[in-house]
């Protein structure tokens, strides 16, 4: 019996080991604990009851080196939204470059002002209220999360001290939210933004046989319906918002890399260029960059972290 148990344990460990090797380093931390950085900054992992989600919502919060030393100071805030299959812990893992340590180094070197950084767990929601109203992720980010942060931490509450950024799905979310609520955010960045275009993007998503298209279909169905609900999609389409948003005073930056893997799933590059073209036609001030041979997602963020962070903090 013991021999059989030992064999079973060995087989399970082998399967687990192969899965880890195949998938690479972890994308998230299962049981996160406070991260104390060498320069005095720290990352804490928190949760609170979100009225918009009807459940506990999780987030991580980065405190700059001076937060614990200067008890009278209030700090500006950057909200940053993760991509698909990630969560609020993903930005801290080695797989994605250990971003908190890099931000701390830039602050210590006086290349960035000190600020608080908040990363919510947006699951695969596209930071959008669900079609059936069961989960309201846009309201969670715009209302619940901001209230949670401003009520419990020493942060500034003015528009000029608040910005929002994101990567991949989170880049779509940050751009969408900032265009909808330009009175609440001074600046927005979107790196590798997922920009769907047309009246029903589900047509080309479902028409693709790539594995990414399958991922998108499962994630998008509760958010927009499948096919997309026309009215709900119109309210949340970046293409539509680029045409209608009153965002002349919003500082906007977005970028993608030409080696983005999602181009195999849908016309991602065409979507980003369409979004840029509409802003150009309207004369909306913005910065758009194309990084030659640049990858998708967190790696592109890390490769241009100082540039992205400088843009988000220019009004701080």
Q: Return the closest-CA partner of residue 163 out of 142, 185, 179, 147.
A: 185
Look at residue 1 in the predicted model and tell me its pLDDT: 42
Look at residue 208 in the predicted model and tell me its pLDDT: 64
pLDDT band at 18 (very low <50, low <70, confident <90, very high): very low
Q: Which residue has the tokens 């812990």?
A: 89
pLDDT tens digits along 106-118? 999 999 999 999 9
Q: What is the DSSP string of 201-213?
A: THHHHHT--SHHH
Q: Return the closest-CA partner of residue 288 out of 189, 168, 173, 166.
A: 189
Which of 5-19, 94-108, 229-243 bottoms out in mean pLDDT, i.e. has the lowest?
Answer: 5-19
On the question of pLDDT at 12 being above 80, the answer is no
DSSP reduced 3-state for 107: helix
On the question of pLDDT at 210 being above 90, the answer is no
Dist CA 214 CA 312 (whole Å): 33
Look at residue 2 in the predicted model and tell me its pLDDT: 36
pLDDT tens digits along 175-187? 999 999 999 999 9
pLDDT tens digits along 157-172? 999 999 999 999 999 9
Look at residue 7 in the predicted model and tell me its pLDDT: 34
Q: What is the DSSP string of 287-309?
A: EEEEETT--STHHHHHHTHHHHH
Q: Name the superfamily (CATH) of residues 28-312.
A: Alpha/Beta hydrolase fold, catalytic domain (3.40.50.1820)
- Domains of the chain, by residue range, sit at 28-312
């Amino acid at each position: 019996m013991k021999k059989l148990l030992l064999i079973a344990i060995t087989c399970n460990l082998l399967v687990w080991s192969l899965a880890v090797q195949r998938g690479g380093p972890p994308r998230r931390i299962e049981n996160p604990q406070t991260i104390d950085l060498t320069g005095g900054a720290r990352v804490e992992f928190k949760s609170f009851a979100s009225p918009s989600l009807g459940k506990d919502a999780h987030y991580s919060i980065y405190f700059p080196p001076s937060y614990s030393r200067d008890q009278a100071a209030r700090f500006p805030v950057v909200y940053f939204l993760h991509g698909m299959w990630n969560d609020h812990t993903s930005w801290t893992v080695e797989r994605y470059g250990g971003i908190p340590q890099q931000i701390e180094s830039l602050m210590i070197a006086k290349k960035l002002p000190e600020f608080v950084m908040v990363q919510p767990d947006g699951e695969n929601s596209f930071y959008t209220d669900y079609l059936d109203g069961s989960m309201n992720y846009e309201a969670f980010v715009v209302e619940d999360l901001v209230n949670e942060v401003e009520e419990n931490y020493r942060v500034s509450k003015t528009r000029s001290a608040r910005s929002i950024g994101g990567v991949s799905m989170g880049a779509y979310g940050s751009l969408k939210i900032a265009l909808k609520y330009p009175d609440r955010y001074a600046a927005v960045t979107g790196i590798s933004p997922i920009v769907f275009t047309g009246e029903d993007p589900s047509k080309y998503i479902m028409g693709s046989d790539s594995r990414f298209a399958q991922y998108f279909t499962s994630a998008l169905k509760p958010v927009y319906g499948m096919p997309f609900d026309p009215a709900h999609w119109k309210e949340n389409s970046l293409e539509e918002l680029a045409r209608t948003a009153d965002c002349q005073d919003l500082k906007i930056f977005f970028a993608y890399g030409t080696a983005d893997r999602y181009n195999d799933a849908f016309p991602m590059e065409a979507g980003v260029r369409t979004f840029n073209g509409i802003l150009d036609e309207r004369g909306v001030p913005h910065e758009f960059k194309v990084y030659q041979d640049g990858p998708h997602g967190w790696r592109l963020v890390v490769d241009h972290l100082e540039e992205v962070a400088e843009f988000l903090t220019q009004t701080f």
